[in-house]
Amino acid sequence: MKKIILTSATALLFSCFNVFAEPHLVEAIKHATAASQADDKDKILEHARPALEEATAAALIVRGVPLAHANEGVKALEDAIAKAKSKKTDEAKKLASSAVGHLTAANKK
């Protein structure tokens, strides 16, 4: 009986962590979406940087399967920023769009 209670409490605790990550993921998705729809490198950078900050904050909190998606979103945003800095806007937009997909998957309930 104690093992069942301990297992249930642990599962509940880990699911609660994901609730705290939700506001960060929502903001990251909003900014990453704007970055994926931007027309020039400056606008991509303007939105990708705050998206990266929020996604990183969420990745520090979230646990389980969403953690893998959050980490992939962070990596995609880092790559999008690098591509935007090197003036490869089409590639940066594709990476930002990929980040949106991963962050949305991380935010699923």
Give the pLDDT confidence score for residue 20 in this predicted structure.
72
Query: The whole model's pTM is what?
Result: 0.83
Per the CB < 8 A criterion, the answer to whether 54 and 103 are in contact is: no
Average pLDDT over residues 68-89: 96
For 41-67, the pLDDT digits (tens) are: 999 999 999 999 999 999 998 888 889
